[in-house]
Structure 1
Amino acid sequence: MAEEYINHWRIEKFDPAWNPTGMLEVSSFSRRYPRYIETYLQACWQSVKSALKEYGVSCKLSVVEGTMTGSTTKKTRDPYIIVKARDLLRLLSRSVPAPQAIKILKDDMSYDIINIRKMVRKKV
């Protein structure tokens, strides 16, 4: 008897039909950013905003408070997208260029922040 091969590690792309009614509650978060990247964030914010809008997430840049805020809307279908949006804003606050950071919204992408200072050893 031949067994069917099942790939347990395959990542399936989210289908909005899995959640036709959307989110029941609004989830939101804020992320502070350093002042030295404020000008860059203002320049690229429209592309960040449109990328998140495709997934039903709204975002706001507050230059007075120095924060970026993201929240779900009635159009949000993917429940995990709020975590990905948080990761996007975290990458932006760490000076990752917006076109690279926006890639984190795709299902098959992830990131890891490496603290280089711990890897540098002092020569004797």
Structure 2
Amino acid sequence: WLKGGAYTEEDNPNGLADRSDFVILFPEYREQYLKEHFTVIESTLGASPFYLKTTLNCKEGKIIIETTERTFDPFIIFKGRDCLQLVSRGVAFEEAKRVLEDNVFSEVMKIGNLCRNKEVFTKRRQRLFGPDGSTLKALQLLTGCFIFIQGKTVSVIGEVNGIKLVSEVITDCMNNIHPIYHIKQLMVKKELKNSSEYANVSWDKYLPKFKKTVNKSIVKKKKKKIQKKEYTPFPNAPEKSKKDIEIETGEYFLSKEEKQLKQVSERTEKQKEKKEEKKKQQDKLYEAPKEENPKKRKHQNDENN
């Protein structure tokens, strides 16, 4: 084990000093899958190298995993916890049980907090899938990791370096950087690794560099600065009410009949003004056009003669 081999019972023949357990919650839509496949899960985790005990509680929506007297590996409880977390997030148990192997790890990334707007979030999450899942397949081949996207989480299974690359691609994608740029860089790096000529040479020249472009139509217009008014300790004068205006004009002290007569007189005056304007416009149509100066006409006739 110290030389890099597998951890066996001979390394810890007395077993663990104390028992430990973990509780994993699962959503309602995974209840049916867990009921159908729980016998397989229980048998694999309770088999010879692991010796873990699992119990399913559908009423409370949780799975309990704990060590037994026969468990000898102190780290296997963490592996079993990660395996059940992946199953609860929608990963099939056939893929999730890979975490129980050595040098294979997992990570459940939460991407819901990276983008607030729901419409933008769905569009950027769709970029990870690509047309017919092409970008997701390319990432899996280049990184050597299994990637599963469900809701607001992304489950990744693989080696440590591959998981780091996938996490960078996902965070950049949610920050409006398309994953195709990372895929191109990973393809170039893979070709350079295979060739022995570029082993001791810097790869900065050969890696593609992409500049972030801004669409001019989306750029926000700068707001005009509003000049602040000078501070005055005195409040603004109150607006005059209808009664105040009527008192100033004297309408408040008139009777109903006088008010009606005043309204009729105002209407007649307005009607007269409108009639006069219409007459002026009609008279302009019948006005004769202005004639040219007679001196110019005489001058033109003399030139013709």
TM range, normalised to the smaller chain?
A: 0.7 to 0.9
The reply on whether 1:40 has 2:36 as its aligned counterpart is no
Quote the residue 1:23 is aligned against: 16
The TM-score with structure 2 as length reference comes to 0.36
The AA in structure 1 aligned to 2:22 is F
Structure number with higher relative contact order (C-alpha < 8 Å, ≥ 6 residues apart): 1
Q: Counterpart in 1 of 2:95?
A: 100
> By how many angstroms is 1:43 displaced?
0.9
Q: Give the 5 Å matches for 1:5-16.
A: 11-16=4-9
Secondary structure, counterpart of 2:107 in structure 1: coil
Go from structure 1 to structure 2 and tell me whether the alpha carbon gap of 1:90 and 1:13 turns closer, same or farther (over 3 Å shift). same
For the residues of structure 2 that align with 1:85 and 1:28, how far apart are their CA atoms? 10
Residue 79 of structure 2 corresponds to: 84
Distance apart, 1:61 and its partner CA: 0.7
8 Å contact 1:71–1:82 — kept in the other structure? Answer: yes
Find the partner of 1:53 among 41, 46, 49: 46
Q: Which one has a bigger Cα radius of gyration? A: 2
Report the residue type matching 2:18 in the other structure: E
* Counterparts in 2 of 1:94 and 1:19: CA distance versus 1, 3 Å: same
For residues 28-79 of structure 1, what are the alpha-carbon distances to aligned partners after superposition, in whole Å with 9 as ceiling and x for unaligned? Answer: 1101000001000111111111111021110001001100100000010111
Unpaired segments ≥5 residues, structure 2: 112-124, 126-170, 178-214, 219-305
Tell me how far apart the structure 1 counterparts of residues 36 and 61 of structure 2 sit (CA, whole Å): 15
2:89 and 2:6 map into 1 onto residues whose CA distance is 27
Following TM superposition, by how much is the alpha carbon of 1:112 offset from its aligned partner in structure 2, in angstroms?
Answer: 2.7
Q: From 44, 65, 72, give the equivalent of 1:70.
A: 65
* RMSD (CA atoms): 2.2
Contact 1:58 1:73 in 2 (8 A): yes
1:12 counterpart SS class: coil
Corresponding residue number in structure 1 for 2:105:
110
Identity %: 30
- Conservation of the 8 A alpha-carbon contact between 1:30 and 1:69: yes
* Corresponding letter in the other structure for 1:61: L
SS at match of 1:113: strand
| Residues 11 and 100 of structure 1: CA distance in aligned 2, closer, same or farther (over 3 Å) | farther
Q: Does the 8 A contact of 1:58 with 1:72 survive in 2?
A: yes
Matched residues in 1 for 2:108 and 2:91: separation? Answer: 11
The structural deviation recorded for 1:113 is: 3.0
Q: How many residues are matched?
A: 116
Note the C-alpha offset of 1:12. 2.6
In 2, are the aligned partners of 1:32 and 1:68 still within 8 Å (CA)?
yes
Please say which of residues 106-115 and 33-42 is displaced more in the overlay.
106-115
Gaps of 5+ in 1: 1-9
